[in-house]
Amino acid sequence: MRRTVALLSIALALAAIPAAAQERPVAFTGARLLPITSPPIENGVLVVQGGKIVAVGPAGSVRIPNDAEVHDVSGRVIMPGLVDTHSHIAGASGGDRSAPMHPDVRVLDALNPLDTGIQKAQAGGITTANIMPGSGLLMSGQTAYVKLRDGRTIYDLLYCKDVLTEVCGGMKMANGTNPIGSSPSPGTRAKSAAIVRNKFVQAQEYREKIRRANGDPSKMPARDLEMEALVEVLEGKRVVHFHTHRHDDILTAIRLQKEFGFRLVLQHVSEAHRVANEIAAAGVPASIIVLDAPGGKLEAMDISNANGAALEKAGALVGFHTDDGITDSRFFLRSAAIAVRYGMSREAALYAMTMAGARMLDLEDRIGSLERGKDADFIVLSGDPLSTYTRVLQTWVEGVKVFDLNDPRDYLYAVGGRGAGVVAAFHHEGMEGH
């Protein structure tokens, strides 16, 4: 039975693979290329085929196949598709208030691939996103690593091919004030850490039982969805994405990571400027958010747009995220520009928008740079990525154009206007007389 389901899901996944994988090569000529892992190339040539990058280099040094469809993009800039390490688009939700930790709950069971948030993210140049459940619980569930293809079902968007046998994302955790509340939520920070530690100790014991069973089905512990997911965390197959703001909460997250040895990506790190050296020393990557003003919640009141600069200086791996709806995916490129305004280097900021995010999601072999053999995920910009005036003209995912500013429908999602709304929002107008 289980096998049938697995086969079925593979079949679905295969059927869904976008007609993409074009056979005929496509070449882009004349643009300034920002490969990220190597220096910019003026008047570059990018050749893609079968959903992959097959060549990238300066004009003259790259052979354009005779049968290639050639796009002259002179005066434009091409860079890798952006990686958003923390987003809530497409109707993300996770665990409920019945318990403080929900390692068994999957965000992918909530996602609607037809949500206009996907189109808007494509319009912002985002090609890969880590869609997460919220931060109102210590562990709100499993996140989903998605490729922003034009999809009909969630299977069209996921990186994993089989949701039943593969790890399809990370694990969302949170500390500080968001997960604190009335029972069964913890009431204090120390209790928060204790609940998490107890759960991980249980998972360690569960893993030990599996080890002792040594493959003997009669000795295996009963299946436990929570424990299975946490064992994936303990074994480093599932990365923990940890929402944390205050400097002491950041250190608590690192302390838990040291104790249980899971792989950790810090998310938000509003006070990173206070503990940048500790973050760097722990070798833990940090994904930051850039905001137009401080405040709004107590633990984020000392957020600084100089976090990028501080973490870069300390030597930590820095990425960016939208936290969409906190910031809009269409303005994601602003994050890099504003981080640069506050002292981050241009190179580190562009790396943070792409390659750093790819590394945080374990996808650096497939995405994050313009390199031969990587997925053909890239964006065509009207100008420099750090300029306010630059527009995303096209977004390509695996060799397929998923966004084109010249397309009226795409234009609507990029700019807004009548019909661009989220899935029709419900406006409460009262129920008198009903």
Partner 1 sequence: MKAIHILGKVAARAAAAALVAFAPAALEAQVAVRGETVYTMAGAPIQDGVVLIGRNGKIERVGRASEVRIPDGYRVFTGKVVTPGLIDAHSVVGLAGYLNQEHDQDQLERSNAIQPELRAIDAYNARERLVEWLREHGVTTIHTGHGPGAVMSGQTMIAKTRGNTVDEAVVKPVAMVAMTIGPEVARNFNNRPGTTPKAIAMMRAEFLKAQDYMRRQQQARDGNGPSRDLKLEVLAQVLRGEIPALITAQRAQDILAALRLQREFGFKLILDGAAESYDLINEIKAAGVPVIIHPTMARHSGTLENASMETIRRLRDAGIQVALQSGYEGYVPKTRVVLFEAAMAAAYGMPFEQALATITIDAARILGIDDRVGSLERGKDGDVVVFDGDPFEHTSHVCTVIIEGQVVSETCR
Residues lying near partner 1 in the complex (CB under 8 A) are found at 271, 273-274, 291-298, 300-306, 309-310, 325-326, 328, 331, 334, 337-338, 340-343, 386-391, 415-422, 425, 427-432
Residue 229 to residues 118, 120, 237, 293, Cα–Cα distance (Å): 27, 31, 10, 37
Contact 396, 405 (CB under 8 A): no
Q: Which is nearer to partner 1, 150 or 302 (CB)?
A: 302
- Shortest Cβ 340–partner 1 spacing (Å): 5
Q: Which is nearer to partner 1, 121 or 256 (CB)?
A: 121
Alpha-carbon span 355 to 348, nearest angstrom? 10
Alpha-carbon span 126 to 414, nearest angstrom? 12
Maximum separation of any 2 CA atoms in the chain, in Å: 75
Q: Which is nearer to partner 1, 34 or 397 (CB)?
A: 34
| Cα torsion angle, 200, 206, 209, 211, sign | negative
Q: Which is nearer to partner 1, 29 or 354 (CB)?
A: 354
Provide the 3-class DSSP secondary structure of residue 190: helix
Residue 400 to residues 23, 25, 76, 321, 394, Cα–Cα distance (Å): 11, 12, 18, 24, 10
How far does CA 272 lie from the centroid of its chain? 20
Q: Which is nearer to partner 1, 321 or 359 (CB)?
A: 321
Q: Which is nearer to partner 1, 178 or 257 (CB)?
A: 178
Side by side, the strands of the sheet bearing 264-268 are 139-142, 171-174, 240-244, 264-268, 286-288, 318-320
- Shortest Cβ 350–partner 1 spacing (Å): 12
- Shortest Cβ 432–partner 1 spacing (Å): 6
- Shortest Cβ 135–partner 1 spacing (Å): 12
- Shortest Cβ 312–partner 1 spacing (Å): 12
- Shortest Cβ 403–partner 1 spacing (Å): 16
